[in-house]
Amino acid sequence: MRDQPEQQAPPVQRLRIRYAKRGRLRFTSHRDFSRAFERAIFRARVPMAYSSGFNPHPRISYAGAAPTGAASEAEYLEIALAEVVDPAVIRTRLEEALPDGLDVIDVVQSPGGALADLLQGSHWLIDLDADPATTHDAVAAFLAADAVSVERMTKKGLREFDCRAAVVALSAVDRPAGARLDLVLRHGVPAVRPDDVLSGLASVAGLDPAGAPLLTRLAQGPLDESTGTVGDPLSS
Amino acid sequence: MSAPASAPESGPESGPESVFPRLEPRLPSVSKPIQYVGGELNSTVKDWDCATDGPTVRWALMYPDAYEVGLPNQGVQILYEVLNERDWIVAERTYSVWPDLEKVMREEAIPQFTVDGHRPIRAFDVFGLSFSTELGYTNMLNALDLAGIPIHAADRTDDDPIVIAGGHAAFNPEPIADFLDAAVLGDGEEVVLAISEVVRDWKVEDCPGGRDELLRRLAVSGNIYVPRFYDVAYAADGTIEAVVPNRPGIPFRVRKHTLMDLDAWPYPAKPLVPLAETVHERFSVEIFRGCTRGCRFCQAGMITRPVRERSIETIGDMVENGIRRSGFEEVGLLSLSSADHTEIGDVAKGLADRYDGSNVSLSLPSTRVDAFNITLANEFSRNGRRSGLTFAPEGGSERMRKVINKMVTEEDLIRTVAAAYSHGWRQVKLYFMCGLPTETDDDVLAIAELAKKVIAKGREVSGRNDIRCTVSIGGFVPKPHTPFQWAAQLDHETTDERLKKLRDTVREDKRFGRAIGFRYHDGKPGIIEGLLSRGDRRVGRVIEEVWRDGGRFDGWSEHFSYDRWVGSSEKALAGTGVDLAWFTTRERDYDEVLPWDHLDSGLDKDWLWADWEDALAAADGADVEVEDCRWTPCYDCGVCPEMGTEIQIGPTGQRLLPLSVV
């Protein structure tokens, strides 16, 4: 008989990491990213804490990943370490070990608690190939509505839900070739995503941009309901 | 730190325009878009005019299958790296696009592109395709067509790249001769550089004589096969009468290329690390090339001779470098029969010691039953799981194993699995083939008996009932340059019948049936692989017909259509007097000119024939065995004297030293 594997030592330090998905690597899916990140921590020789069992895994907690195809400046995860290290050193090593386009922005020591609890809202920019005036009108109509019902195919089948209540702030700004939406979304259940808001704009005001919109998450963190702003989850 | 959403597409600064700006807006609508964006760790994007002195030579390298299969391919990774190390060569990679992206590309007129610089394939000097299997032929036609390159070599102009095939399937490139400008037999490392030099010299001279002259130079000086310089004449019975050069200076036979001293070529040194999930998520080191076990069905073992080992020190260095640069924690020690390395015990122990206590795990694919030992297996599972062991007896009966010259006795196998089960393994996988020459129903049913004995022995030695044995069966396809190149392939109806009988026999068994897993495929794809393996130039029309009818990704069961291949064969071969059966289920005679006879793998055709006769004699009970020339005297297969090569093996007597921690 084979012996049971020995128990792994508990973590001695937890680090929170903010990273970006940029340019062509915005097509990295969450699964792709987690595989790439696990290889990067091995290359970077980060002294990870591992889970126990026959097939130990490095302890990594992901939170609030952006959908495949969306760029992001504000993705977060937390890693547990077997040794105490300087977060700045880990940042440099990880930055070297990850491909360009998956870029580490910040590494800080975790004060404890759940990272996911701090990710209450997101600030998005959505670039559209649409007429600016039409976009302005659509935004006004959307904001005037109490509720905007949209449908989306989920793992559990086609679901219908309201996408209006989760919108904390929405405005349209012009850009050289089309329009840009500036959107703050509250995280909740069911999760309302930027493309749900686009579906809502289509159903309320018939906004129908050409081609695929470019989504960019600028920030993700604690939500200030009074100002409609998204804070930094690593500074709290 | 770059600005939000700015593309880190470190793309072309000169040369043809990147197609990425046109591709990008459509990527959200296709499945797994990450496979088309490039940017893998250790990938290279060079300036289009990177040569500091004289012209730049540019290669587009393709593995003609989906990215998830093509990216891990060692051959392409090695050539990509070897070429890009030269400051006057640009090499980029391209893979087959799935039908959803193909539709978008046809709508938007986006040409076949490289994933590195997203440059159009047609802009390169050389378009090199690596064929591990013949089932990529339709994908080649699709890539050419998407690239805007005429699919027939005869229709290409000086604006088109030279289309070159390599890989094991290129040892009989005749079925795709009409679509190729050239083919290379054997190891690619040195010859791709030689080809590049010929191309450079020709460009320095301002391309005299156009592509025809370039091809002539390659054929005359480079030992490169250029199909258009050979005429094929057919006899009234449909067989080949002769294949002869049609212009002066072209050699009658084209020889394979053999790389000696693998220690001098430790590639891949910069392993590509994909973001997308691929079929092999590990770092592999080829511990030796070639195999002289003499299994008669095995084309790889015949065409890669002689055996050339990497030394224990090079292997150790390559493993350390590879995992540090890739981040892969699983290491595969690759070869055709890995446990046969002269120092495999020291390699295994040295690596296991080195990475003890880490999560680096080692695997040893292609282990022979008779070369397996528990010490070795323990070293390989020291850091990992004892998930399963795989052996390949290939033939179910002792008679069958003698026919194929895979001299593994039942006692060997039972002893080996007993050792494995008693040391904690719970699962053993066994590979067999169906459709081998002289095979009968009884030979196939013997697989069931063997599997039952394996389970019985496993239960006995482990004292447990939860042990399992999985039987995997592949259909045998006779391949060129092997002793079975003359054999009749078994028709798919009989293959399927035999497999059904075997399955029923296993299922009916109350004591063992549930402990035996059974995996197999139907016999139809094997027949098409057989057509493409042993076909001649007339088969090109079939491939073209299938592609025009929508055939793609023939290696994928969900895309493969047997009916389409049958229909296209009937249409394309009408009036030739030959058909699908003629190419597959027909036995050949000694006198027949085989389509690949002018392509020299080094093997003496008379030796192959004698070995084929020995196989038939063994089938009737004769006791003949070809031993391995690695340990026993040369048996005159012809390769070493013909090619001027020799066996390169250890032992070196060296040991791997522990690595100092950095």
Q: What is the pLDDT of residues B14-64, one digit of tens each?
A: 689 999 999 999 999 999 999 999 999 999 999 999 999 999 999 999 999
| B316/B392 same-domain check | no
Taking alpha carbons only, the member of A72, A100, A104, A102 closest to residue A87 is A104
Say how many C-beta atoms besides its own lie within 10 A of residue B630's C-beta.
18
Whole-number Cα distances in Å, A183 to A153, A166, A180, A230, B66:
22, 10, 10, 11, 38
Distance CA A91, CA A94 (A): 5
Question: Residues 76..105 of A with a Cβ closer than 8 Å to B: which?
Answer: 97-101, 103, 105
Question: Residues 49..68 of A with a Cβ closer than 8 Å to B: which?
Answer: 50, 54-56, 68
| B69/B53 same-domain check | yes
Q: Do A69 and B32 make contact, defined as CB atoms within 8 angstroms?
A: no
- Asked if A13-117 and A120-230 have one fold, the answer is yes
What pLDDT score was predicted for residue A52?
Answer: 83
Distance CA A76, CA A62 (A): 7
Look at residue B502 and tell me whether its pLDDT is greater than 80. yes
Question: What is the nearest CA distance from A45 to chain B, expressed in angstroms?
Answer: 9
Q: Residues B58-112: pLDDT tens digits? A: 999 999 999 999 999 999 999 999 999 999 999 999 999 999 999 999 999 999 9
- On whether any CB of chain B is under 8 Å from the CB of A9, the answer is no
Does B527 fall in a domain?
Answer: no
Question: What is the nearest CA distance from B452 to chain A, expressed in angstroms?
Answer: 23
Q: Do B277 and A35 make contact, defined as CB atoms within 8 angstroms?
A: yes
Higher pLDDT, A155 or B129: B129
What residues of chain B lie within 8 A of the CB of A39, using their CB?
41, 273, 326-329
What pLDDT score was predicted for residue B1?
Answer: 35
Residues of chain A with pLDDT under 70: 1-5, 236
Taking alpha carbons only, the member of B137, B155, B53, B93 closest to residue B532 is B137
Q: How is residue B239 annotated by DSSP?
A: S
- On whether any CB of chain A is under 8 Å from the CB of B461, the answer is no
| B649/B660 same-domain check | yes
Count of structural domains, chain B: 3
Does B550 fall in a domain?
Answer: no
What pLDDT score was predicted for residue B5?
Answer: 39
Q: Do B27 and A23 make contact, defined as CB atoms within 8 angstroms?
A: no
Burial of residue B620, with CB atoms counted within 10 A of its CB: 0-12 exposed, 13-18 middle, 19 or more buried: exposed
- On whether any CB of chain A is under 8 Å from the CB of B634, the answer is no
What residues of chain A lie within 8 A of the CB of B275, using their CB?
25, 28, 32-33, 35-36, 99
Cα-trace Rg, chain B: 25
| B329/B410 same-domain check | no
Question: What is the nearest CA distance from A144 to chain B, expressed in angstroms?
Answer: 31
| B401/B476 same-domain check | yes
- On whether any CB of chain B is under 8 Å from the CB of A36, the answer is yes
Does B547 fall in a domain?
Answer: no
| Block residue for tokens 């009937």 | B570
Strands A102-109 and A71-81 come out as unpaired
- On whether any CB of chain B is under 8 Å from the CB of A122, the answer is no
Q: Residues B158-189: pLDDT tens digits? A: 999 999 999 999 999 999 999 999 999 999 99
Q: In a mutagenesis test of the B interface, which of A21, A27, A180 is the best target, namely the one with the most B β-carbons within 10 Å?
A: A27
- On whether any CB of chain A is under 8 Å from the CB of B330, the answer is no
Look over chain B and give the mean of its residue pLDDT values, rounded to a whole number: 93
Mean pLDDT of B247-265: 96
Domain final residue, candidates B498, B522, B546: B522
B568 contacts: CB under 8 Å, gap ≥ 6: B542, B545, B546, B549, B551
> Residues B224, B195: contact at Cβ < 8 Å?
yes
Say how many C-beta atoms besides its own lie within 10 A of residue A166's C-beta.
19
Look at residue B8 and tell me whether its pLDDT is greater than 60. no
What pLDDT score was predicted for residue A3?
Answer: 57
The enclosing domain of B476 has a CATH number of: 3.30.750.200
Q: What sections of B270-362 are H helices per DSSP?
A: 299-303, 312-326, 344-354
Domain extents in chain A: 13-117, 120-230
| B220/B119 same-domain check | yes
Binning pLDDT at 50, 70 and 90, where does residue B283 land? very high
Does B185 fall in a domain?
Answer: yes
| Block residue for tokens 């290696």 | B555
Helix H or strand E segment including B203: helix B189-204
Q: Which residue in A38, A39, A214 is closest to B5 by CB distance?
A: A214
| B377/B494 same-domain check | no
Mean pLDDT of B639-655: 91
Q: How is residue B209 annotated by DSSP?
A: T
- On whether any CB of chain B is under 8 Å from the CB of A236, the answer is no
Distance CA B523, CA B11 (A): 46
Whole-number Cα distances in Å, A13 to A65, A86, A96, A114, B382:
23, 10, 22, 14, 29
| B414/B354 same-domain check | no
Q: Do B275 and A36 make contact, defined as CB atoms within 8 angstroms?
A: yes
Burial of residue A102, with CB atoms counted within 10 A of its CB: 0-12 exposed, 13-18 middle, 19 or more buried: buried
Q: Do B27 and A69 make contact, defined as CB atoms within 8 angstroms?
A: yes
Q: Which residue in B10, B327, B386 is closest to A97 by CB distance?
A: B327
> Residues B466, B425: contact at Cβ < 8 Å?
no
What pLDDT score was predicted for residue B386?
Answer: 65
What pLDDT score was predicted for residue B90?
Answer: 98
Whole-number Cα distances in Å, B175 to B530, B542, B583:
11, 9, 11
Domain final residue, candidates B490, B522, B554: B522
Q: In a mutagenesis test of the A interface, which of B67, B108, B275, B464 is the best target, namely the one with the most A β-carbons within 10 Å?
A: B275
A13-117: CATH class: alpha beta
Q: Pseudo-torsion of CA B411, B417, B420, B422, nearest 10°? A: -80
Question: What is the nearest CA distance from B131 to chain A, expressed in angstroms?
Answer: 27
Mean pLDDT of B526-540: 98
Question: What is the nearest CA distance from A199 to chain B, expressed in angstroms?
Answer: 16
A193 contacts: CB under 8 Å, gap ≥ 6: A67, A185
Our separate counts of H helices and E strands in chain B read 21, 18
Q: How is residue B482 annotated by DSSP?
A: S
Asked if the interface predicted TM-score (ipTM) of this complex is over 0.90, the answer is no
Binning pLDDT at 50, 70 and 90, where does residue B508 land? very high
What pLDDT score was predicted for residue B480?
Answer: 98
What pLDDT score was predicted for residue B26?
Answer: 93
Q: Do B10 and A100 make contact, defined as CB atoms within 8 angstroms?
A: yes
What pLDDT score was predicted for residue B6?
Answer: 38
Distance CA B61, CA B126 (A): 8
Whole-number Cα distances in Å, A141 to A161, A205, A227:
18, 7, 21
Percentage, residues of chain B above pLDDT 90: 82
A120-230: CATH class: alpha beta
Question: What is the nearest CA distance from A49 to chain B, expressed in angstroms?
Answer: 12
Does B533 fall in a domain?
Answer: no
Taking CA–CA distances from B277, the nearest residue in chain A reads A32
What pLDDT score was predicted for residue A190?
Answer: 86
- On whether any CB of chain A is under 8 Å from the CB of B488, the answer is no
Question: What is the nearest CA distance from B544 to chain A, expressed in angstroms?
Answer: 34
Look at residue B146 and tell me whether its pLDDT is greater than 80. yes
Whole-number Cα distances in Å, B429 to B282, B304, B405, B416:
21, 26, 21, 12
- On whether any CB of chain A is under 8 Å from the CB of B6, the answer is yes
Distance CA B142, CA B148 (A): 10
Q: What are phi and psi of A86, to 5 degrees?
A: -80, 120
Containing structural domain, residue B631 = 282-385+626-662
Q: In a mutagenesis test of the A interface, which of B18, B24, B426 is the best target, namely the one with the most A β-carbons within 10 Å?
A: B24
Mean pLDDT of B120-149: 98
Taking CA–CA distances from A216, the nearest residue in chain B reads B5
Length of chain B in terms of residues written: 662
Does B4 fall in a domain?
Answer: no
Helix H or strand E segment including A128: strand A121-129
Binning pLDDT at 50, 70 and 90, where does residue B7 land? very low
| B46/B148 same-domain check | yes
Taking alpha carbons only, the member of B166, B133, B165 closest to residue B525 is B133
Look at residue B559 and tell me whether its pLDDT is greater than 80. yes
Does B205 fall in a domain?
Answer: yes
What pLDDT score was predicted for residue B373?
Answer: 74
- On whether any CB of chain A is under 8 Å from the CB of B327, the answer is yes
Distance CA B275, CA B273 (A): 7
Domain final residue, candidates B485, B503, B522: B522
State the pTM of this model. 0.94
Question: Residues 350..389 of B with a Cβ closer than 8 Å to A: which?
Answer: 359, 385-386
